[in-house]
Amino acid sequence: MVQDIGFSGYFDRPLSLQYLNMATIYEVHPVAPQRDRIEKITKALKDGAVMLYPTDTVYAIGCDLNSKSAVERVRQIKQLSNDKPLTFLCSSLSNITDYAAVSDEAYRIIKRLIPGPYTFLLPATKLVPRLVMSPKRKTTGIRVPDQRLCFTLLEALGNPIISTSAHITTDDEGAATVPAGKAESFGKAELFDCFSKLVDVIVDDGSDPGYQVSTILDLTQSEPIVVRRGLGSESVAVWEKD
């Protein structure tokens, strides 16, 4: 099992903990992530690593958007077929416009809601790998999370980061590795143990796993549509389907 580390002296522990044939755990401060640890994580991502990491919603499985082999591994872990798109994180609205066509109305909506627990469905640009976008609609799902660790990783990596829920099963995000019906009873130690042989890196900022997914907002049409209710859904209730 992955060792359950107490919070006493939490951020003074060694840079990383290695387990034989298991993921490397990096303990990172949630408010002021240590630069040396961020550099090691992003180097691993650039080399094709897959990681388990906390977001402002749930723990996610992720990798560098531009690492084809890593994206393929994420799909395998989630048992996600190639006709299902993968969501990824961007650092800002201007960063989103590199990877998606954003109308004036969509721009205003996104600007009002980010950073936050929202996934925006948008027409993909050529910078989005085919393995990531929806092959039929040519759309992509993008988030700008309200979390310091994610922002720091994005800035250090210089590329978007794939983000698909690790322990919550939804129709659009494939299967969860955590046994069905047990997601909300899983603690962090159990979650880490479950993924210790599936991913290369586990990022631990001291937070417990969340259980509420993001709200998905489709901005590909003239009128916004709420596709999935999640965190922050009260702010977009005006666009919900009847």
Q: Which two tokens stand for residue 108?
A: 């205003």
Q: What is the phi/psi pair of residue 181, to 5°?
A: 85, -5
- Please enumerate in sequence order all residues whose Cβ is within 8 A of that of 215, keeping only pairs 6 or more positions apart, or say none: 117, 118, 119, 226, 228, 229, 230, 231, 232, 233, 236
Of 79, 29, 91, the residue nearest 54 (C-alpha):
29
DSSP 8-state class, residue 63: -
Mean pLDDT of 193-204: 94
pLDDT for the residue 240: 72
pLDDT for the residue 167: 74
DSSP 8-state class, residue 184: G
pLDDT for the residue 56: 95
Q: Which residue has the higher pLDDT, 156 or 188?
A: 156
DSSP 8-state class, residue 23: P
pTM, two decimals, is: 0.86
Binning pLDDT at 50, 70 and 90, where does residue 182 land? low
SS3 content of the chain, % helix, strand, coil (to 5): 30, 20, 50
pLDDT for the residue 170: 52
Q: 204-232 pLDDT, tens per residue?
A: 999 988 888 899 999 999 899 999 999 99
pLDDT for the residue 7: 34
pLDDT of 164 strictly over 50:
yes
Residue 9 falls in which region: left (phi positive, over 0), alpha (psi -120 to 50) or beta: left
CA neighbours within 13 Å on the CB side: how many for 155?
A: 11
**What whole-number distance in Å separates Cα of residue 136 and Cα of residue 138?**
6
Average model confidence (pLDDT) across the chain: 86
**What whole-number distance in Å separates Cα of residue 130 and Cα of residue 224?**
24
Which fold would CATH assign to domain 10-239? DHBP synthase (3.90.870)
Binning pLDDT at 50, 70 and 90, where does residue 129 land? very high
Q: Which two tokens stand for residue 166?
A: 């690790």
Of 212, 239, 238, the residue nearest 227 (C-alpha):
239
Q: 45-99 pLDDT, tens per residue?
A: 999 999 999 999 999 999 999 999 999 999 999 988 888 899 999 999 999 999 9
Q: What 3-state DSSP class applies to 239?
A: helix
pLDDT for the residue 211: 83
pLDDT for the residue 232: 93
Residues 123 and 222 sit within 8 Å (Cβ to Cβ): no
**What whole-number distance in Å separates Cα of residue 196 and Cα of residue 211?**
20
Percent of the chain with pLDDT over 70: 83
Q: 5-20 pLDDT, tens per residue?
A: 333 343 444 444 433 3
